Amino acid sequence: MSWLGIPHAAGGESRTGADCWGLVRLYAREELGLALPAIGRDDGWSAVDGQKSRTAWREVRGPAEHGDVLLFRLPGGMLHVGVALPDGRFLHVMEGGGSRIDTLAHDPWRRLIVGAYRWTG
């Protein structure tokens, strides 16, 4: 899969390097034709959490669908985002690694997920 192994780069949103929100934006643009909003680079969640009441973000009730943005709270309170893929999987990238696919049904991710959000804008 061409989405695996994209290196982590703070503030990045290209195939040469991306942070978690940058990877979600890149995937949404290239695979889904969606232009998700840009954000401050402090954390990926501020795009959804800081704007969901003022923009076209809608919280998903029920299973996440392909393209939904998944929010995770990591140990220490850090927020992290990924993009839902079919069959309960998601794509994300974390500091110190390359982009990868994990499964929501397995720990630690099933314990860390806060919610799923869909861009309707």
Q: Tell me the domains of the chain and their CATH numbers.
A: 13-119 (3.90.1720.10)
Long-range Cβ contacts of 57-61 (<8 Å, 24+ apart): 57/117, 57/118, 57/119, 57/120, 58/117, 58/118, 58/120, 59/115, 59/116, 59/117, 60/115, 60/116, 60/117, 60/118
In DSSP terms, 119 is beta-bridged to: 57
**What is the chain's pLDDT, residue by residue, as a tens digit (121 residues)?**
699 999 999 999 999 999 999 999 999 999 999 988 876 444 444 555 555 445 678 899 989 999 999 999 999 988 999 999 998 999 999 999 999 999 999 999 999 999 999 988 7
